[in-house]
A and B are shown apart, each in its own frame.
Chain A
Amino acid sequence: MAVLRARKPNNEADQPSSPVLRFGSDKPLKLDAGTLLSPFQIAYQTYGTLNDARSNAILVCHALTGDQHVASTNPVTGKPGWWEVLIGPGKIIDTSRFFVICSNVIGGCLGSTGPASTNPATGKPYGLDLPVITIRDMVRAQQMLIDHFGIEKLFSVLGGSMGGMQVLEWASSYPERVFSALPIATGARHSSQNIAFHEVGRQAVMADPDWHGGKYFEHGKRPEKGLAVARMAAHITYLSEAALHRKFGRNLQDREALTFGFDADFQIESYLRHQGMTFVDRFDANSYLYMTRSMDYFDLAADHGGRLADAFAGTKTRFCLVSFTSDWLFPTEESRSIVHALNAAGASVSFVEIETDRGHDAFLLDEPELFAAINGFIGSAARARGLSA
């Protein structure tokens, strides 16, 4: 762990250990904030082989604190890829059949341009000088990556949570480039409660004296305490009361009785502290501010005159939505309202609600019913696309 701590986070930010696509001043990224980002770069990973017709590409969009290492070892944590239960050779998303692309989002901290990246104008990390990034900005950048591969139409775009928002944005902004779309455990907008949780996280980061107005690298510091608290609070929202109780109950941590102090008496306290501590080793605090903001700003209906169905007017994309019964961050009703909008738009849509007590994070876990749904959907879409098994 000491080795990891010594590693400056902006090593991966500027010189990631995965492939990078750099765009010069001739190809700026147009941002919703009204400015151009240039130069900029996208760090990505690919798995499998693009076929001659370039028709077997699947784009995976990562969630809030995810990265491009979806199906291979993460260079920072040394842990397996975050969706290896689903993606790999012989898995449900079979990389011996499909060409899987996953890129770090703009605003992230693992190699795509973000607040930890060096600002070429100053030679220092961007910090808060980076304009606020939106989900649409992320998708616009991904689209430039897809152009680079010469892929006209993605066979599928899938992702959960913030990744699901990108999937919806893809299907809405570039319907002719998306054959099928799988938004999981997500919503077409961030709810007031979700914005509230994010604000708590941001305030925790900014209240840390080591944050230094976002210029912590220049002070040789990082707001680790603030970011850890933000992660602890957020982590609770990714689980469910039932799952927490099942896992931890009121069990005490390495002790026989309460200590009448403020040490981590309970297992749940110890667990959350651990979650917070390991998170700061792999994630940049400013990037956390930008990521949460991008989700808060997302409101697909508002971008289309207040009517969500208009975001998908005339779409030919095949959709499959998945929600989880115990997800209180993106409850089933959020998915259902997208389904209703897609129905109104005459779209082809499947919708599965999966019963589980594992909360929002269920989409990252080994959920047989989730896999069965994805398998059925991808299989029938592949047949419709003329992809051989």
Chain B
Amino acid sequence: MSVNGSQRVDLEVVANLIPPQSRVLDVGSGDGSLLELLQDTKQVDGRGLELSQRGVNECVARGLSVIQGDADKDLEFYPDKGFDFVVLSQTLQATRNPKLVLDELLRIGNRAIVSFPNFGHWRVRLSLFLNGRMPVTKDLPYSWYDTPNIHFCTIRDFVNLCDELGATVEKATALDANGQRIGLSMPWWFWNFFGQQAVFLLKR
């Protein structure tokens, strides 16, 4: 379900937020990279939910506990606070109802970790400003008519949504185009301009 062409620089940032032996649900587990990383380095009790059947079958063949399912439809079957962490990496923008999905993440997990591409990044802004066309960049390679990314947001938008859902931002990280963390002391507008990806640790 992870739907962009980037090198997933966010994976390590996400992994660093999770203490050893946690119970983790990875929503949109793709080929299982994050789950495998977490299992190998943090000995987590990890589960995955993945939309593409091919991804699921690959994960299961690699010994990962993954089921086929849709973040928009299948999160309702998980019990309240069943996991220490629920991770949604690079998938929020592809859901039909991001607000509901985020709400579900906060219900299922004691904490939610969400990573997403920042549509407020200067390259995106510049592309739209100069070309007057929907931005197609290295990390967001789809055209408007075939993109699975139907609900883009900026870092500022996301922070607003967290407020609306009563979620507390415990930690936030923005990564620049090279996957480097942007300094912690920078204000939101700076992150929103230079952050290509954002990783949020949320609690409610």
Asked if B62 is at the interface (CB within 8 A of a chain A CB), the reply is: yes
Asked if B71 is at the interface (CB within 8 A of a chain A CB), the reply is: no
How far apart sit A340 and B47, CA to CA, in the bound complex (Å)? Answer: 13
Contact A379 B77 (CB under 8 A): no
How far apart sit A341 and B45, CA to CA, in the bound complex (Å)? Answer: 19
Asked if A369 is at the interface (CB within 8 A of a chain B CB), the reply is: yes
Contact A346 B79 (CB under 8 A): yes
Give the residues in chain B near A369, CB-CB below 8 Å: 57
Contact B78 A344 (CB under 8 A): yes
For the complex formed, measure the closest distance between the CB of B165 and the CB atoms of chain A, giving whole angstroms.
22
Give the residues in chain B near A351, CB-CB below 8 Å: 56, 60, 66-68
How far apart sit A353 and B66, CA to CA, in the bound complex (Å)? Answer: 12
Contact A350 B74 (CB under 8 A): no
Contact A343 B57 (CB under 8 A): no
Contact A375 B61 (CB under 8 A): yes
Give the residues in chain A near B69, CB-CB below 8 Å: 339
How far apart sit A352 and B55, CA to CA, in the bound complex (Å)? Answer: 10
Asked if B5 is at the interface (CB within 8 A of a chain A CB), the reply is: no
Asked if A383 is at the interface (CB within 8 A of a chain B CB), the reply is: yes
Give the residues in chain A near B56, CB-CB below 8 Å: 350-353
Give the residues in chain A near B64, CB-CB below 8 Å: 350, 376, 380
Contact A350 B79 (CB under 8 A): no
Asked if A244 is at the interface (CB within 8 A of a chain B CB), the reply is: no
Give the residues in chain A near B66, CB-CB below 8 Å: 350-351
Give the residues in chain B near A380, CB-CB below 8 Å: 63-65
Asked if B82 is at the interface (CB within 8 A of a chain A CB), the reply is: yes
Give the residues from 159 to 178 in chain A that come closer than 8 angstroms, CB to CB, to chain B.
Answer: none
Give the residues from 330 to 349 in chain A that come closer than 8 angstroms, CB to CB, to chain B.
Answer: 339-341, 343-346, 348-349
Give the residues from 346 to 376 in chain A that come closer than 8 angstroms, CB to CB, to chain B.
Answer: 346, 348-355, 369, 372-373, 375-376
Q: Among B65, B68, B77, which residue has its beta carbon within 8 angstroms of that of A318?
A: B65
Give the residues in chain A near B160, CB-CB below 8 Å: none
Asked if B21 is at the interface (CB within 8 A of a chain A CB), the reply is: no
Contact A340 B77 (CB under 8 A): yes
Contact B63 A372 (CB under 8 A): no
Secondary structure at the B interface, as helix, strand, loop or mixed, is mixed
How far apart sit A348 and B44, CA to CA, in the bound complex (Å)? Answer: 12
Give the residues in chain A near B47, CB-CB below 8 Å: 348-349
How far apart sit A377 and B64, CA to CA, in the bound complex (Å)? Answer: 7
For the complex formed, measure the closest distance between the CB of A252 and the CB atoms of chain B, giving whole angstroms.
38
Give the residues in chain A near B78, CB-CB below 8 Å: 343-344
Known: A340-B74, A344-B78, A349-B65. A377 touches B60 (CB 8 A): yes
What 0/1 readout, one digit per residue, does chain B (173-191) give for beta carbons within 8 Å of chain A? 0000000000000000000
Contact B67 A339 (CB under 8 A): yes
How far apart sit A350 and B69, CA to CA, in the bound complex (Å)? Answer: 11
Contact A373 B61 (CB under 8 A): yes
Give the residues in chain B near A373, CB-CB below 8 Å: 57, 60-61
How far apart sit A346 and B57, CA to CA, in the bound complex (Å)? Answer: 21
Known: A340-B74, A349-B47. A376 touches B60 (CB 8 A): yes
How far apart sit A369 and B57, CA to CA, in the bound complex (Å)? Answer: 8
Give the residues from 38 to 97 in chain B that come closer than 8 angstroms, CB to CB, to chain A.
Answer: 45, 47, 53, 56-57, 59-69, 74, 77-79, 82
Contact A355 B79 (CB under 8 A): no
Contact A376 B63 (CB under 8 A): yes
Closest to B47 in A: A348
Contact A352 B57 (CB under 8 A): yes
Known: A318-B65, A349-B47, A380-B63. A344 touches B79 (CB 8 A): yes
Give the residues in chain B near A350, CB-CB below 8 Å: 56, 59-60, 64-67
Pairs across A and B, CB under 8 Å, 20 listed: A320-B60, A343-B74, A343-B78, A343-B79, A344-B79, A349-B65, A349-B67, A350-B60, A350-B67, A351-B60, A352-B68, A353-B56, A355-B53, A372-B60, A375-B61, A376-B61, A376-B62, A376-B63, A379-B63, A380-B64
Known: A343-B78, A355-B53, A383-B63; 5 extra A-B contacts, CB below 8 A, are A340-B74, A348-B47, A372-B57, A377-B60, A380-B64
